C-alpha cells in the first residue's frame, strides 16, 4: 500500500506538502505512510480514494473492483415478469417442459 500511495500522489502531480493541505493532515503523516512506517486512518483512505478517483480497495490491495450493478425496481408487474424471464430463461424453459409433460400425461389418462 505504501508504494501505491506514493505513486498515486506523484501521478496526481502533488508534493507531500500539497497533498497534506488538500486532505487536511500533516506532511509528516504522509512521509510516514510512503515508506511504510505508518498507515492512514480509514477517514484519510476515504479522502485519498475520492481525491485520486480510485477505490479504497485499490489503495489497500492494489486490486480494482468492478462497480456494483444497480438494480432498478420495475414499475409494473409486467416489467418485473419480463426482467425475471430475461434473467432466468433456462429455468423457465425447464418449467415449461415439465408442465407440458404433466399436461400431456393428464390428457393421456383422461382419453
Under DSSP, the state recorded for 13 is T
Higher confidence at residue 52 or residue 69?
A: 52
- Give per-residue pLDDT as tens, 2-61: 888 989 889 999 898 998 898 899 989 999 988 889 889 888 888 888 888 888 888 888
Under DSSP, the state recorded for 1 is -
> Whole-structure pTM over 0.75, yes or no?
no
Q: How much is the pLDDT for 9?
A: 85
DSSP string of 23-92, one letter each residue: HT--HHHHHHHTTTSS---HHHHHHHHHHHT--HHHHHHSPPPPPPPPPPPPSSHHHHHHHHHHHTHHHH
- Class assignment of domain 2-61? mainly alpha
Tell me: pLDDT of 107 over 70.
yes
User: Confidence class of residue 73 from pLDDT cuts 50, 70 and 90?
Assistant: low
Distance CA 80, CA 77 (A): 5
Q: How much is the pLDDT for 36?
A: 86
Give domain limits for the chain.
2-61, 77-110
Inter-residue contact 57 to 66 (CB < 8 Å): no
Amino acid at each position: 500500500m505504501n508504494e501505491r500511495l506514493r505513486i498515486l500522489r506523484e501521478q496526481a502531480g502533488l508534493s507531500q506538502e500539497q497533498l497534506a493541505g488538500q486532505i487536511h493532515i500533516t506532511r509528516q503523516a504522509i512521509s510516514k505512510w510512503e515508506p511504510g512506517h505508518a498507515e492512514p486512518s480509514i477517514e484519510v483512505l476515504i479522502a485519498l480514494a475520492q481525491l485520486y478517483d480510485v477505490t479504497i480497495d485499490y489503495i489497500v490491495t492494489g486490486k480494482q473492483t468492478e462497480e456494483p450493478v444497480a438494480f432498478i425496481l420495475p414499475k409494473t408487474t409486467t416489467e418485473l415478469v419480463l426482467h425475471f424471464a430475461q434473467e432466468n430463461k433456462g429455468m423457465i424453459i425447464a418449467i415449461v417442459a415439465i408442465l407440458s409433460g404433466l399436461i400431456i400425461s393428464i390428457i393421456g389418462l383422461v382419453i
